[in-house]
A and B are shown apart, each in its own frame.
Chain A
């Protein structure tokens, strides 16, 4: 496993140590060691079933690790889940909003869960709703939303509590090109603001454009980590697609 990339001495926002997850004898994640700093966008690439979503869910506290530890800003996610989750924001690959709530109500609900006062998040939300071209449909029941509309609302609710560590699974699925561009810009702003983003995606061009570092995961193991330049050098490839195919199959 290549993890010889040294990065800055900035504070470790996320540290996973020998993280493992086994489902009925099948290892979904094996000895995953990852360290992310503040102000970083880390993109996890890998084939279907490689363990990307499982990794994200383990860090978000939705799955119990079979072994290993996860620390977010020094807090153990297993031992202090409530404290750790106050600084984590998670977006699943399948966006879900309660059918009989409107998008706006769903955002209010999330704000309530995180105990965020209305005057703290509402101006920020209104700006984000406008940026993502979320129109009047925000006040219709979610049962009438398309996948992309749900994805936009989920993106908005993600930032309600101003998380430090942001976990996103397939951020661009269902989004129109303009919204996709807005989301990319948003990710850069969050990074510049000192946030840490851990993103799983299959969209290689997106990964190349936004990633500070890229991780290649295959069969539950983090095989390679590094910047795009470093990984293409390791793979001896000229483009991200060739790099990904060579490294994920090795």
Chain B
């Protein structure tokens, strides 16, 4: 008997119960914030694409290249994300003890867990990809059938990395059972990085080239390369060709859609049979691994002289020992490093200081978004990760105020170090103006303080003590809300700061006068918004935590 519908229906009931148990105000707020984000993203993409279609010769090609590059990057991120999520979903999950003890086909369990893993690893991609493709369709005046095909294609596209990741993890655990979870994740990610590197080296895709466009010859070469397919064998290329095909060439669109469908089904079937053969065995082998014995002296032995030190030592130890935490951090670091080092060519392309200043401002905005993202992923789950251990803190003479204060300042210190390092390096590469440099560093401190407050406060308001995977905690309704609040906050900050930046540029490079009133209003708004975003989320979170029964 196929138990998959039964398992899926119970899963759906859990989700439905968690939604219906929320207060109406919470549901409305959540829907409202999500809608605002989706609409905001859509509006931004429509503006960008709307401008590009007016650019002669290369406008459409640039737009198509942006789409293709976006999906290429999404694909790499999805593979990483699925490898990390797969480990905890398919192996490190207490529910599996219950499910495997039942007379249920392991393949039913696998398909259920594959859906779960894919959902958790892909939701962020879907949130960005959907407004992107819809905006593309609107700007290019795509036919009606474009929209359902685009959505279906994205759904197929996100299944491929999920299935591939599961096969990789099963294979490694089955044939190398002595490896610890940390080793498996490092091995998987090394394999992926290695394959990606080989692909780039061998194929040298035009997608990743940075072209010089100083002379007319170089510009024409750049325009010609825009129409070059990034990589024939990549699902991201097929997806972008499907979107283009719906507008331009139906035969191309149909071909790539069928190709994507065929490959997704093939990989899915291959993953299914791999799971049939390997899943149970690898799961049993993982359960039988003995754990490594630790040394008798540990940082906690030295830290027990004060509650603050004990709490911080515990949090740091748990972070370092949990592969899903530091591996994801490592992935983020690599991506950020690639971005930062790509900035070093900026002074080559943009010799006029006005452009470099604009880029510095855009860079500042982007780094703020990075901190917002890191905050949701690593700060939001902080309170939830106390898990059932909250009984210990709740029954001890350790107040929740003190708990939040310690976590706030520790996370603030970390966020400040990260944001200041990123700004320092990026501004060094861009060769930003000194005065702007100093101002940005000061503003970054305030932004870090606000983002930590938003994520810690929301994490206290929407804890998930039953979940031990920080990625899943961040992907829950509270995490999504915190993500949207963080991104909205950064967008508001950039909008407020844009005015003084604009007047600075006018005054510095165009010899135009300042408008003191506007500058004062911008300063006042900056102070008011940040006072609210630093104080209110923390107070709200603390109040919620205090009211909670444990």
Give A contacts to B, CB under 8 Å: 57, 60-64, 81-86, 88, 90, 92, 94, 96-102, 104-105, 108-118, 136, 139-141, 143-144
Contacts and interface: CB of A to CB of B under 8 A. Distances in A.
B318 A118 contact: no
A104 B294 CA distance: 10
B304 A60 contact: no
Contacts of A62: 391, 394-395, 549-550
A112 B395 contact: no
A63 B395 CA distance: 10
Contact of B391 (A83, A90, A101, A140): A90
Contacts of A57: 549-550
B172 to A, nearest CB: 20
Contacts of B397: 81-86, 114
Interface string B299-331: 011011111011101100110011000000000
7 contacts: A85-B395, A90-B391, A98-B314, A108-B298, A108-B310, A112-B309, A114-B396
Nearest to B401: A82
Contact of A104 (B291, B296, B399, B547): B296
Contacts of B399: 81-82
Interface string B261-304: 00000000000000000000000000000111111101011011
A82 B399 CA distance: 7
A116 B304 CA distance: 7
Given A62-B394, A88-B395, 20 more contacts: A62-B395, A62-B549, A63-B549, A64-B547, A81-B397, A83-B397, A85-B396, A86-B397, A96-B391, A96-B392, A100-B321, A101-B317, A105-B294, A108-B301, A112-B304, A112-B310, A113-B310, A118-B305, A139-B293, A143-B291
Contact of B304 (A83, A118, A139, A144): A118
Contact of A105 (B300, B306, B307, B322): B300
A22 to B, nearest CB: 11
Contact of A102 (B294, B304, B388): B294
B393 interface: yes
Interface of B: 290-296, 298, 300-301, 303-307, 309-311, 313-314, 317-318, 321-322, 387-389, 391-399, 468, 547, 549-550
Nearest to B547: A64
Contact of A99 (B304, B395, B468): B468
A108 B300 contact: yes
Given A104-B296, A139-B296, A113 B396 contact: yes
A60 B395 contact: yes
A113 B318 contact: no
A215 B398 CA distance: 31
A98 B317 CA distance: 11
Contacts of A81: 397, 399
Contact of A109 (B295, B304, B388, B549): B304
B195 to A, nearest CB: 30
Contacts of B549: 57, 62-64
A101 B395 contact: no
Given A96-B388, A112-B306, A112-B310, A60 B296 contact: no
B393 A113 contact: yes
Contact of B303 (A60, A108, A110): A108
Contacts of A110: 392, 396
Contact of B291 (A88, A109, A114, A140): A140
A112 B300 contact: yes
A81 B301 CA distance: 27
A101 B303 contact: no
A109 B317 CA distance: 11
A115 B308 CA distance: 9
B303 to A, nearest CB: 6
A97 B468 CA distance: 13
Contacts of A144: 290-291
A97 B304 CA distance: 17
Nearest to A167: B395
Nearest to A21: B549
Nearest to B295: A139
A54 B295 CA distance: 39
Contact of B550 (A63, A100, A141): A63
A109 B311 CA distance: 7
B550 to A, nearest CB: 4
